[in-house]
Amino acid sequence: MNKRIVIIGAGNVAYSLAKAILNTNNFSLCQIYSRTIESARSIGVRTGVAYTDNILEVYPDSDIYIYAVSDTALQNIIPSIHIREDALLLHTSGGISLDIFSKMPNSHGVIYPLQTFTKGRELDFKEIPLLLEWSDKKSCDILKKLAAELSDVNIEVDSYRRKLVHLSAVFVCNFTNHLYDLSSRFLEDNDMDFDILRPLIRETADKIMSMKPEYAQTGPAKRGDDIVISAHKKLMKKRENMMEIYDVMTESIFKLYKKEDINIEVEEENTYSISNPTLW
């Protein structure tokens, strides 16, 4: 079989997906549509695929349409493109239900790549978890074949659980980056370079590749070390937003570990060897 695909959207997800589709055997990418000609051209030129910014020029006879646009754009763009009724419609959003397609007569599904896509960074699409959902047997069959060619990690997840994953992703990606960002600005304002934190940031992430995060937790909040905590607070006097985050995170960690890991805490108190002198 050879299924033709049109991608609607020309952002970072669209581009990564386009490149990955070009590497499949049974699917071909035939067109990219974007609302602006610059974005359409940018991704069209980089992938060697036809592109357009004219919604009337979107090929009406493709087999699959993948909507890789922002959540706000998705609702409006679905009914505005005229396509044949037996085409499969897919979107790539973590936060939007499958039934956004329910007014369309087409089979439909979701293919949500769980990753942060950044211009200029080439990722191995095979390693990106794809969260899949479908409306019927037809969309199930095609979507599973497509996903299997795109990635080694395919997971069937309903709309509700996909939203839970999406929320978790905000915590581990957006919020984590904000912690990096605050620290970077804090060091910069004190004439120090963010570079010195990079090995620590990498190891903090690397560590939980093979470890449950609860076993990797360390630091004054976990130990309930009031002396260190109040010393830290003095350093943030003029940093209201850091202070607020510090308080909420510290309290959350403290509460969590007060209830559990009693053995580890006791061991830390009794020996020099278990507690970590660097405080985290």
In whole angstroms, give the CA distance from residue 25 to residue 22: 8
Tally of CA atoms within 13 A in the half-sphere of 69 that contains its CB: 21
204 binds a copy of itself (CB under 8 A): yes
Indicate which single residue of 5, 6, 13, 143 sits in contact with a copy of itself (rule: CB under 8 A). Answer: 13
CB 144 to a copy of itself: min, Å: 17
Residue of 132, 130, 131, 6 lying closest to 66 (CA atoms): 6
Instruction: State the binding string over 248-267 for a copy of itself (x if CB under 8 A, else -).
Output: xx--xx-xx-----------
Number of residues that bind a copy of itself (CB under 8 A): 127
Stretch that binds a copy of itself, among 80-88, 100-108, 132-140, 186-194 (CB under 8 A): 186-194
Handedness of CA 11, 174, 74, 60 (dihedral sign): positive
* Burial (Cβ within 10 Å: 0-12, 13-18, ≥19) of residue 109: buried
Q: In the range 94-123, which residues lie near a copy of itself by CB under 8 A?
A: 94-95, 112-118, 121, 123
With a CB cutoff of 8 Å and minimum separation 6, the contacts of 46 are 15
SS3 167: helix
Instruction: State the binding string over 128-167 for a copy of itself (x if CB under 8 A, else -).
Output: xx-x---------------------x-x-x---x-xxxxx
Q: In the range 205-244, which residues lie near a copy of itself by CB under 8 A?
A: 205-209, 211-214, 216-222, 225, 227-228, 231-232, 235-236, 241-242, 244
Cβ distance 133 to 156 under 8 Å? yes
